[in-house]
Each structure stands twice: as C-alpha cells, then as structure tokens.
Amino acid sequence: MTFSRATLNEWAAAQKLDLIGVADPEYYAEVAPQWNPLSILPKAKSIIVFAREIPRSYFRGIEEGTLWMRVNRYLGADDAYCLCRRFEDNGFLAVPCSPLAQQRWPDGIEYKPSKPAPNVTPDIRVAAQLAGLGEIGYNGMFLTPQFGPRQALGMLFCEAKLDCDEPFRFGTICRREQCLACQTGCPARALGPKTEVCQVGSQTATIGVFNNEACRFCVNGAYPDTSCATAPPNRLAAACVRACIACLEDGGIVKTRFKAPFRRRAAWGLATFGG
Ligand code: SF4
Ligand code: SF4
C-alpha cells in the first residue's frame, strides 16, 4: 500500500513547512554505509526532505553590514520529530535525522565489524536533490527555484512507501561556469577555480573547491560550525552565497516577490587571510 502524498502535504502545511519531497531509497544502493540512510533504517521506503524559507531580512542586514546574525542551514529537531510522530501514529516507523558535519565521522565505536561506525551522516543536500526540491550549486549550497539558497532543510526516513519525486536536474538553477558570481563574490578568493565532481544519483556536476583554511577566518558573513571544530563554517550568509542570492534574483532565475532588489549597492568585503 502506498501512503498518501496528499496526507504528507497536509502535515507539512500544518507544520508551516514551505517545501517537502520524497526520494527513492533505491538511489542509495551504491552509497557508502557511513553516508547511507539505509544504515540507519534498513527497511526505509521513503527518504523525506523538507524546508522552510529563511526570511530575506536575515541576509539583508549582513549584506548592508548593519546587523550580524547566524543564519541556520538546518531546521531544528522539532519539525522532524513532529512528522515522525505523525507517521508512527499511523503505524509506520520513522526516524528523524539531524544533519551533522561529515568531518565528525567516525564519531563513536563500531559495534560490529561489518557495520559502519556511528554517526552515520547522510548528505542532506544530496537527499534534497534526489527528492526533487532543488540542486546543489557550484558554491555547495542547496538552491531551490522558490528561494535560491534561502531555506533551512530537515530530513527523516520512514518505512511508509510514498510516491517518490523525480530527482531535480543539475543546471536548472545554477549555470556554473556561465555564472560564477559566488566565486567572484568572495573577497578572499577562497572558492574555485579548482573544482570537484558532485554525484547525485545518476547525475554528476562540478562544484567549486573551497580553501577551507581561508573560510575558517572569513569575516564576510560566515559563521563557525559549532558542532565540529574541523568542519567548514556555515557559509549561508557569507559573501559567496549573498552574491548567489543577488544573481539568481536579478537574473530572474529565482522568482522574487520583493519590490526592492537584494543588492542595492556594491558589495562590501574584506580580503583576509590570503585574499
Ligand atoms: S565563506 Fe567567506 S572566505 Fe569562504 S568562500 Fe565564502 S566568502 Fe569566501
Ligand atoms: S552564484 Fe551562480 S554559479 Fe554560484 S552557485 Fe549561485 S547560481 Fe551557481
């Protein structure tokens, strides 16, 4: 029996989520166990990813250099918990997944030789693209047609079988080498031109390689990852991502309801540590 998508959409709306999608676990057949949701819930039939818009005002203060705040990339545990409770109230096992920095792995003791050590850490951006919500951009951020990079993501795995979404196609939002506003927008020149390959299901695309040492000292809007000292910072409000917000909105690639542009004057930036 397939669980109703309409019901899932109702739950998401009640939770005031803006986006929700379902990825097929079959895409994880070849994914290494330490990054694989099936290591957490082997009989998962649906990987569910959801998102809530982050107000544009959170970024505008940093863009103007007047108000500094951390902009969270991930939703708190409550949203996943509430959705899992809904599934379990209907008789299906469901596991919330809090994204952790992949640099934390391994983060515990292997309990059996054939099993991955904890904590298994699936990449939420890959799951979100497989669930049809958007794509991973050249700057490593998750971009959606609705909000560009301006959303916080959450994820759960469940044993209810739902109709899955088609994976989102690379190149629909991010034009990579035809754009590179994120690369030129970094005052410290810490993104690209070196690239690496990003694999999402059967698709591949290039993403820019960051100079993580420079990013660790970024004073242009990045925020340290407080969960892991060796992890790259949260770059969501940094110059490399604010340049992306401006270019997607100005280019009409992300529809905007705002009457004034995001970027209203030349971007400020300090070329610290090797810029
Ligand atoms: S986080 Fe800062 S230093 Fe790193 S690429 Fe972005 S703007 Fe540049
Ligand atoms: S600024 Fe352009 S190249 Fe960079 S992630 Fe955004 S859309 Fe892609």
Ligand 2 centroid distance, CA of 181 (Å):
6
Question: Is 182 touching ligand 1 by the criterion CB < 6 Å?
Answer: no
pLDDT in tens, 199-214: 999 999 999 999 998 9
Ligand nearest to the CA of 182: 2
* pTM (predicted TM-score): 0.96
The residues spanned by each domain of the chain are: 5-250
- For the Cβ of 22 lying below 6 angstroms from any atom of ligand 2, the answer is no
The pLDDT assigned to 208 comes to 98
Mutate to test the pocket of ligand 1, among 62, 213, 216, 220 (most ligand atoms within 8 A of CB): 220
**Who contacts 259 (Cβ-Cβ below 8 Å, separation ≥6)?**
none
**Residue of 258, 54, 48 whose CA lies nearest to 152:** 54
Confirm or reject: Cβ of 185 under 6 Å from ligand 2.
no
Q: Residue 167 and residue 21: Cα distance in Å, rounded? A: 10
The pLDDT value given to residue 275: 44
Q: Whose CA is nearest to atom 4 of ligand 2?
A: 182
14-58 per-position pLDDT tens digit: 999 999 999 999 999 999 999 999 999 999 999 999 999 999 999
Hunting for tokens 């994976």 — which residue is that?
167
Ligand 1 centre to CA of 18 (Å) is 28
Six-digit token string for 134: 């958007």
- Is the model's pLDDT at 215 over the cut of 90? yes
Distance 275 CA to ligand 1 centre (A): 10
